[in-house]
Amino acid sequence: MRVSRNIIITGIVLIALLLLWGAWSLLPHRTIETAPPPAVTHDGDLLRIRPGGPLDGQLTIEPVQETLSPHQVELPAQIITPPGQSVDIHSPVVGRLANLYVQTGQHVQKGDILAILYSGDLAQAWSDDHKAQATLTLTRQAYRRAVGVLNAGGNAVKDMQSAKNDLEQAQAEATRARLRLQALGTDGNAGYQPLFAPVSGIVTSVSTGVGQNVTDMTAVLMNVSNVDTVWVQASLPDTLLPMLGTTMTLDAPFPGQTCHGPVTSLDGTVHTDTRRLNLYLRCNNTQGVLRPGQFTTATLNITQQAQPILPKTALLMDNDQISVFVETSPNTYRRRFITISYEEGETVRILSGLKAGERIITHGAILLNDY
């Protein structure tokens, strides 16, 4: 009887335990999660990337390259007429325009007659020349007579000296009158003043017409320009003056022709109105494709010594400071501040802070910027 009671009690306890275990297994259990290690840890000024972490494989590491290519600067440029090859035509005398033989755009040769003026001043110059020549002839004859009479003993020395003085004055006046005609460029027709082309080229402007009275000898009547050779004028900002070197070339593309070559000349001073220095390139234009006034964007190539060069994607900007992340060992990086010179398309040149061969983060550095 006692054994049966013990067996019943034991069975009840086992059943109770089974029921408690079943109830406990049906209850929701809370899993305690442990935090993963950080993706980036600090070790002084070093940043360590956890292998297998979220940043592992997101960074591109490349060595710093070095370049010998020239620095290229894009500058506004235009075609201009070479110095001394664009000549304004003025009238050397006042008068009235009788004939005009050219029009804008016409090609002329040196010495061609451009126009003719009726001029009272020219008639006066011819009259002065004729009178001076007549006076010279008369005084020369008088001097010869005075010398002959003196040699025959029938005249005083002072008479011969007076005749000689008159001859020298007449010679001076004749020379002046003839040089005046030569300066006017006359062709021998009294009263008709021709205007000659001083250079071969194109008539770029005409600001007069037949019948116009020319009363101002400083007024420009027309312009003739020789454009067989033209100059490309490129304007360099004064902020870039320190980079100018002794070896520079210019590339200036135009429709139908590209001008290329060493810089021919440059201004001695900076233009105060634009704060720019003009550089010049001589360009052959025998085909007449280029016209003064055409604009383009020229490329100035400045020879440089070997310099480290970086892609822009490696740079981190923090106000006025520029930095990169340099690899010190696998998965370990240090921020380093650098100085850049100027942009080369998608790259920049390094003035200080990096050397060729050092390994840096070229893509993905922004992911470490906030650590």
For 330-370, how does the pLDDT look when each residue is reduced to its tens digit (9 = 90+)?
888 999 999 887 666 788 888 888 888 899 988 988 888 77
Query: CATH number for the domain including 350?
Result: 2.40.420.20
Residue 19, helix vs strand vs coil: helix
More confident residue, 6 or 271: 271
- My answer on whether 285 and 175 are in the same domain is no
Calculate the CA dihedral of residues 83, 84, 86, 87 and round it to 10 degrees: 150
Q: Is the pLDDT of residue 28 over 80?
A: no
Q: Compute CA distances 187 → 176, 181, 265, 313, whole Å.
A: 17, 9, 40, 74
Cα separation, 324 vs 363, in Å, equals 11
- My answer on whether 139 and 266 are in the same domain is no
What type of residue sits at position 216?
D
Per-residue pLDDT at 10: 74
Domain span at residue 105?
A: 89-114+196-224
- My answer on whether 99 and 202 are in the same domain is yes
Distance of CA 368 to the CA centre of its chain: 41
Token couple for 142: 């008088």
Cα separation, 342 vs 257, in Å, equals 29
Give the start-end residues of each E strand in 92-227: 95-100, 107-108, 113-118, 192-196, 201-206, 213-214, 222-225
Per-residue pLDDT at 4: 66
Per-residue pLDDT at 254: 92
- My answer on whether 108 and 205 are in the same domain is yes
The mean pLDDT value of the chain amounts to 84
- My answer on whether 318 and 363 are in the same domain is yes
Beta bridge partners of 180: none
Per-residue pLDDT at 188: 57
Phi, psi of 179 (to 5 degrees): -65, -30
Beta bridge partners of 296: 77
Answer whether 112's CB lies under 8 Å from 339's CB. no
Per-residue pLDDT at 34: 62
Query: CATH number for the domain including 259?
Result: 2.40.30.170
Residue 40 within a domain: no
Q: Is the pLDDT of residue 29 over 60?
A: no
Answer whether 230's CB lies under 8 Å from 290's CB. yes
Q: With cut-offs at 50, 70 and 90, classify the pLDDT of residue 31.
A: low
- Is-above-0.85 flag for pTM? no
Beta bridge partners of 222: 89, 206
Q: Is the pLDDT of residue 287 over 70?
A: yes
Q: Among the three residues 246, 273, 302, which one is the final residue of a domain in this structure?
A: 302
Helix (H) / strand (E) containing 250: strand 248-254
Q: Is the pLDDT of residue 225 over 60?
A: yes
Residue 253, helix vs strand vs coil: strand
Q: Is the pLDDT of residue 262 over 80?
A: yes
Query: CATH number for the domain including 95?
Result: 2.40.50.100
Residue 5 within a domain: no
Residue 265: which of 280, 244, 246 has the closest Cα?
280
Q: Is the pLDDT of residue 248 over 60?
A: yes
Per-residue pLDDT at 3: 55
- My answer on whether 270 and 360 are in the same domain is no
More confident residue, 78 or 239: 78
- My answer on whether 266 and 356 are in the same domain is no
DSSP label of 271: B
In percent, how much of the chain has pLDDT > 70? 92
- My answer on whether 51 and 95 are in the same domain is no
- Give the number of domains in the chain: 4
